[in-house]
Amino acid sequence: MSTPISAAELRGTTLPVRRFGEGYDAAEVDAFLQRAAEALEGAGAGLASDDVHAVLFTSVRRRGYDTSAVDDLLDRLADALRGRVRAPRHAGAALLTAADLRAVHLPGAPLLATGYAREDVDALLRRAASALASRGAGGPGLTADAVRGATLGTTRRGGYDVGAVDDLLDRVALALVDLSG
């Protein structure tokens, strides 16, 4: 367990930028940290430690934040938020909404690694967003089992990171279970 961080300390943190090599998209990280600081001050929308563990940032090859520094900061943030916000019904991650799925930015697969085909993942996420948006209106018949059993094409170039997609689809399935039950 790391030392929890305060809102003031979070706002005052300067993260190292990697000029070359893999890093996290600085604008995405900054926006999330702004939201987190507001949550720590009690001024923003609720943010739970599970939300911090589930956040995904786009990987960039130049001028991104050092991933280790961001991950360490997120650990401290999660410790600060632990127990402050009521957990969702499914422990493990906050439930997704249609807006969350429409705004998600999945990282690309590492160089020379197999990734999921972007068009397959994007199509499945559009169906899931539609199902979540139409809750209670009988929307498209996408089920948690359909998400769990989806077959996604793979590619060696330009695909999404497999682990990030699998984690997101687990959360999508939980959100769909929540809708049906």
DSSP 147: H
- The single residue listed with the structure tokens 């018949």 is 141
pLDDT digits (tens, 9 = 90+) for 143-169: 888 888 889 999 988 888 888 888 888
End-to-end C-alpha distance for the chain, whole angstroms: 34
- pTM equals 0.49
pLDDT digits (tens, 9 = 90+) for 93-113: 455 678 878 878 888 888 778
3-state secondary structure of 17: strand
CB 107, CB 160: distance < 8 Å: yes
- Parse the chain into domains and list their residue ranges: 7-81, 98-180
pLDDT digits (tens, 9 = 90+) for 60-76: 988 899 999 999 999 88
